[in-house]
Amino acid sequence: MAKSSTISIVTVMLKMKRTLIIGNWKMNLNTSQASILVHRLEERIKNHTNIEVVLAPSMLVLQPLSTQIDRRKFRLAAQNAHQKDEGAYTGEVSFAMLQDIVHYAIIGHSERRIYFHENLDTIRDKVAAAVRNGITPILCVGESQTERNAGETKRVIHDQLVTAISNLTSAEIENMVIAYEPVWAISTFGGILAKPDDIKKVMDYIRHQVSELYGKKTSETVRVIYGGSVDDHIAGGYLDIDGCDGVLVGGASLNYHKFSGIVDAANRIHNKNGDEQNGR
Ligand code: PGA
């Protein structure tokens, strides 16, 4: 192969981000059920260099899974933690306590905002606490059906996003993940299937906001993913969106056929895009 084409392939590969597939198990699976699911996933999911697979089990299960998982295939995420590093907060676990166990933490999920009344300031403090403790935030933003019907999607996304990242530097934002999860599309809250074209508009708006405040490089580097009723049949439609860096999966992540099918879809799309960029 000619040297110049070797260099161009390497350049393209370096430019391509790894696709992020995150399974949010929510309050499901006890320790032995979780262990069985990971075992099944390890059998089915290959060690892909172009895909990062992240599992977010319950707090109780994080520690045992951290010793079970094949770290070449999986990373762990917390579903929540407390914004203070330590203190008299009965029943809570801090990001500081999780720093050797997880790479990521889901913050601002609509179930936390709605059921646990987490407001913009709490979420901002949790994002800062995660970063302070070396954990990458997966910040969830998304409008409700009522807000969407009222034409308030951009305002809601703007407020959730700008407040949450207001204590971060550009470099810290570049390292984080922003998950666009319209509340109406999440299976728990209605599970309406979102059209990829509509999702693209909001994802573009998210990058535009980051660009306005922190510059073009930061907006291009930050990973923006989609979440809401994603399964193995429809994942490809979202993963194919220009600028979509992955998916956050709830219900379907509890089923190893479906979740490994989503990883397969991501792999196909990654390879197809790589071929297109290389003119093959
Ligand atoms: P769902 O959940 O895939 O079951 O809609 C997504 C989420 O809550 O992150």
Active site residue 109: yes
Q: Is 171 inside any structural domain? A: yes
Which residue's alpha carbon is nearest to atom 1 within ligand 1?
250
Which residue's alpha carbon is nearest to atom 8 within ligand 1?
250
State the Cα–Cα distance between residues 196 and 201, nearest whole angstrom: 9
- Catalytic member of 109, 111, 118, 270: 109
Say yes or no: CB of residue 142 within 6 Å of ligand 1: no
Say yes or no: CB of residue 247 within 6 Å of ligand 1: no
Q: Which of 104, 113, 181, 233 to mutate to test the pocket of ligand 1 (most atoms within 8 A of CB)?
A: 181
The model carries a pTM of: 0.93
Q: What is the DSSP secondary-structure string of 199-244?
A: HHHHHHHHHHHHHHHH-HHHHHHSEEEEESS--TTTHHHHHTSTT-
CATH number of the domain that 68 lies in? 3.20.20.70
Distance from the alpha carbon of residue 185 to the mean position of ligand 1, in angstroms: 8
Does the pLDDT value for residue 280 go beyond 90? no
Distance from the alpha carbon of residue 109 to the mean position of ligand 1, in angstroms: 10
How many separate domains does the chain show?
1
Higher pLDDT, 273 or 114: 114
Say yes or no: CB of residue 28 within 6 Å of ligand 1: no
Widest distance between CA atoms in the chain: 64
State the Cα–Cα distance between residues 176 and 166, nearest whole angstrom: 13
Residue range 200-246, pLDDT digits in tens: 999 999 999 999 999 999 999 999 999 999 999 999 999 999 999 99
Q: What is the pLDDT of residue 275?
A: 65
Give the pLDDT mean for 270-274: 82
Say yes or no: CB of residue 230 within 6 Å of ligand 1: yes
Say yes or no: CB of residue 24 within 6 Å of ligand 1: yes
Q: Is 8 inside any structural domain? A: no
Q: What is the pLDDT of residue 147?
A: 97
Give the pLDDT mean for 28-47: 96
Active site residue 181: yes
Q: What is the pLDDT of residue 233?
A: 97
Residue range 195-206, pLDDT digits in tens: 999 999 999 999
Q: Is 74 inside any structural domain? A: yes
Give the pLDDT mean for 156-164: 98
Q: How does residue 277 score in pLDDT terms, banded at 50, 70 and 90?
A: low
Residue range 69-93, pLDDT digits in tens: 999 999 999 999 999 999 999 999 9
Give the pLDDT mean for 165-187: 97
Does the pLDDT value for residue 54 go beyond 90? yes
Residue range 5-24, pLDDT digits in tens: 444 443 444 446 899 999 99
Q: Is 244 inside any structural domain? A: yes
Q: Is 184 inside any structural domain? A: yes
Does the pLDDT value for residue 156 go beyond 70? yes
Q: Is 2 inside any structural domain? A: no
Q: Is 5 inside any structural domain? A: no
Residue type, 111: E
Which residue's alpha carbon is nearest to atom 6 within ligand 1?
250
State the Cα–Cα distance between residues 234 and 236, nearest whole angstrom: 5
Neighbours of 117 (CB within 10 A): 8
Q: Is 1 inside any structural domain? A: no
Domain that holds residue 159: 18-272
- Catalytic member of 143, 172, 181, 270: 181
Contact 137, 176 (CB under 8 A): yes
Neighbours of 249 (CB within 10 A): 28
**Is residue 80 classed exposed, middle or buried when 0-12, 13-18 and 19+ CB atoms within 10 A define those classes?**
buried
Give the pLDDT mean for 254-261: 98
Helix (H, G, I), strand (E, B) or coil at 114: helix
